[in-house]
Chain A
């Protein structure tokens, strides 16, 4: 019996080993053309027309400020940006070669089409929006399912559900957090062990709603009137300073929201009102639900949360569209049009390009995928991040240069993992490879340090992060002499030139310059073991500034 078990375990181990090896091998020799890739179609010309309007808006700004924009980046550089922006990783060598077979003026369209059909994009974008809507903390145990919420968002992004519909559901949905994932927006704001587990906190909800959907930070008004002249509400054409009551009028929309065995729902009795002791009062006051501006857009009928959802997403409530544009611009370029991403003053000024994009977003019934395509086609997205002439802060502020930003932790992990594989580790990849990637990425981000919700804040690399890149297990495992990528490249490349070129493409999404080729050929010549030489090349490229910065 014992020998039978031993044999079974032995055969199982061999089977698992074969499965892992098979999973590591590139599966597709060629890439399928994305279904939405339609060169020279009407849809494409419409998108390019809007992109041209955005270009004109930027050009107007630059002329007014007497700024000369930098030149255009080469195609592969733009492709790298698109992958990092939408996929959180870099393109594989296999993908780069497929893209190079596309007509140059269709490469961005091809890439965006391909990425928007890629499950990695849905997951990556869903995580970005999840951070904005519910943050990164674990939240209340049992009552909150962040993973469920993010998976639901990924499905909605894949289906390209209109953004206004999606936000309306977030604000007004009822039900159990497992069956109705959108209500995790509410259960996230239940404070455990507070004695109020039946009531999502209206204060937290007011602050989150305002920041995430309207890009307006009114949190300070919770305790006092604005004394910094930075928070504006009221008539958008003539805004006034925010007052404490403005915050609590918004919070009052959530005063009757409750959590019970049946999930999130609204009550309609005296307890539904929102009472708060204002700064100079001795007692609590019942505060009426009121929106902070353009009350004429608020539906007159229906439950309070439905009315609020209707007002937030109203086509004439421009802060809603601006907030969405600003966030998506930040996701795609690493820098919002108005910084910080969740605070666009009601009083402006609004960049002309933001207004153009907001108009198109509203006119297209809040089509997120279309906005992604428009942004990708703009000249601003394709500008270089460097120049022969001096780039000033003015260039940076006016988007006359592509912002040079450090890769965020998941981008860094995703890029390292992808760099060590010649084919894409996407949803078509074997489950073992995808699982391996997910686990490695999680561990790496935990050690590297997750910036949380403030992921668009510019930050530099720390020594701890540098050590992780130099000596971390994941990187060593991915690039070591015995890894598939290094051995594979060393064995299969016909000569040193093509080996070096392949590793450059896999890591930096470009070919080496002549001088670089010369440098690294000398290095290879000095090393007997070619697999070691490949590993060392990988190590240097992955640790380089060029790899660690989106440029």
Chain B
């Protein structure tokens, strides 16, 4: 007798799985998503690896943060401080971060072709320039799509989270909405939409009626094989599991020791960094924490300084706490924004958009610390038409993605079939070798 069985889930090609996962709204808990990720997991990892992105939206000035040029004309009075890493200097507000510099590396000559906030955010978060025909997934979505081991399957809270999200949190793109970041606000408050508005008894009665209605609808549509797998109440269980999960405690920083909270800075961003740490500890794969307000077209030094005061204790404490909790080697921390700011001040004392040599800091997850990769010019002529020519060892933004994905053991060269029918590599960059080992 001819065997018509497909031979199990492994037999399905990636495109079929993608479509099924997307169409049926499967969550991070579903067997199909699991099989898909297993299928893609070419390089086994010894430890679960996670990423925390400190997303500085609005674009920080590299000259006041990770790439100071003290005493030069472009510094325009900005000062720098020495760090624990010999020869590396930081903007003078990053005092606590300087103490952790042996664990942090900086890529200083990053480039992109996007000078508009919205387009550049897309570019930096996805590693691709905006494409009208295709929405690319953010790095957190790729990680959740590609990595899915037993620990992931035990997760009852989303594995991709955006705290204090801006208008453009990480999204699943062509991988599907189920890989969108779950958005939460200041962790001093309860997570939205997680608590029922009625008591348990009443909620139970509501759910009984819901199950009754859904079972009728499913019966009525049982013969519709064209939509098989798309209809179902699988997400109801996942939602209810999450509503009653102990893992929700990871969002709550109110129980943390006062000294710990203080060390992160008593700000929404600081608290969010602590929550990110707790979430990673619980098994979340990617947390993005946003600190906005860096778009300093006027009064650059003062406004950047205020943001740096919020960033510094949070970033430094995050590194320090990851080490204390033995999570540093399994967690990559990224810190940066969508581009940098112009070397020369404008007449309003501001710095404008500058994608021709900006910085991102990386730490943890096996990435070497205390290194600087790339160099920007200390005296670029004003109005230089080809500013990239002045960079030493420049890297396009997609190289940051390649580096992170490589460290996570993800085969980023593999091509996925996209919904438009075009196979596309997960990432088109190359790992930055100087950061590895």
Residues of B within 8 A of A (CB-CB), count? 64
**B195–A471 CB distance below 8 A:** yes
Asked if A369 is at the interface of the complex by the 8 Å CB criterion, the answer is no
In the complex, besides A391-B226, A447-B193, A449-B171, 15 extra interface pairs with C-beta distance below 8 angstroms are A193-B353, A204-B132, A217-B133, A340-B419, A457-B419, A463-B178, A463-B235, A466-B238, A468-B193, A470-B193, A470-B196, A470-B243, A519-B212, A536-B209, A544-B217
Complex CA–CA separation, A344 to B84 (angstroms)? 61
**B177–A452 CB distance below 8 A:** no
Asked if A349 is at the interface of the complex by the 8 Å CB criterion, the answer is no
Complex CA–CA separation, A393 to B225 (angstroms)? 7
Closest to A536 in B: B206
Closest to A342 in B: B133
Q: How far is the CB of A188 from chain B (nearest CB, A)?
A: 11
Q: How far is the CB of B199 from chain A (nearest CB, A)?
A: 11
Complex CA–CA separation, A392 to B118 (angstroms)? 43
Encoded as 1 (CB less than 8 Å from any B CB) or 0, chain A from 132 to 154 comes to 00010110100000000000000
Closest to A192 in B: B116
Pick from B115, B167, B171, B420: contact of A340, CB under 8 Å: B420
Asked if B5 is at the interface of the complex by the 8 Å CB criterion, the answer is no
Encoded as 1 (CB less than 8 Å from any B CB) or 0, chain A from 512 to 551 comes to 0000100110010010000010001101110111100101
- Provide the residues of chain A in CB contact with B176, threshold 8 Å: 459
Q: How far is the CB of A84 from chain B (nearest CB, A)?
A: 17
**A466–B132 CB distance below 8 A:** no
Encoded as 1 (CB less than 8 Å from any B CB) or 0, chain A from 360 to 401 comes to 000000000000000000000000011111111101100001
Name B's A-contacting residues (CB within 8 A): 22-28, 115-116, 118-119, 131-133, 135, 158, 167, 171, 176-178, 180, 182-183, 192-198, 202, 205-206, 209-210, 212-214, 216-218, 220-221, 223-227, 230-231, 233, 235-236, 238-239, 242-243, 352-353, 419-422
- Provide the residues of chain B in CB contact with A523, threshold 8 Å: 205, 209
Closest to A535 in B: B198
Within 8 A of B (CB), among A181-217: 191-194, 204, 207-208, 211, 217
Q: How far is the CB of A449 from chain B (nearest CB, A)?
A: 5
**A466–B235 CB distance below 8 A:** yes
Within 8 A of B (CB), among A49-103: none
Complex CA–CA separation, A164 to B28 (angstroms)? 46
Pick from A396, A452, A462: contact of B178, CB under 8 Å: A462
Asked if A230 is at the interface of the complex by the 8 Å CB criterion, the answer is yes
**B225–A459 CB distance below 8 A:** no
Pick from A462, A473, A549: contact of B177, CB under 8 Å: A462
Asked if A480 is at the interface of the complex by the 8 Å CB criterion, the answer is yes
Pick from B223, B238, B420: contact of A463, CB under 8 Å: B238
Asked if A472 is at the interface of the complex by the 8 Å CB criterion, the answer is yes
- Provide the residues of chain A in CB contact with B116, threshold 8 Å: 140, 191-194
**A536–B205 CB distance below 8 A:** yes
What 9 A-B pairs have minimum CB-CB distances, sorted nearest first?
Answer: A460-B25, A193-B115, A396-B226, A540-B209, A192-B116, A466-B239, A544-B213, A391-B224, A461-B25
**B227–A404 CB distance below 8 A:** yes
Asked if A464 is at the interface of the complex by the 8 Å CB criterion, the answer is yes
Closest to B27 in A: A463
- Provide the residues of chain A in CB contact with B218, threshold 8 Å: 545
**B224–A460 CB distance below 8 A:** no
**B193–A194 CB distance below 8 A:** no
- Provide the residues of chain B in CB contact with A452, threshold 8 Å: 135
- Provide the residues of chain B in CB contact with A395, threshold 8 Å: 226
Asked if A260 is at the interface of the complex by the 8 Å CB criterion, the answer is no
Q: How far is the CB of B341 from chain A (nearest CB, A)?
A: 12
**B202–A532 CB distance below 8 A:** yes
Closest to B21 in A: A460
Within 8 A of B (CB), among A460-504: 460-468, 470-473, 476, 480
Complex CA–CA separation, A220 to B420 (angstroms)? 11
Complex CA–CA separation, A546 to B214 (angstroms)? 7
Closest to A204 in B: B132
Most buried by B among A340, A462, A536: A462
Closest to A390 in B: B223
Asked if A219 is at the interface of the complex by the 8 Å CB criterion, the answer is yes
Q: How far is the CB of B294 from chain A (nearest CB, A)?
A: 15
Asked if A458 is at the interface of the complex by the 8 Å CB criterion, the answer is yes
**A401–B226 CB distance below 8 A:** yes
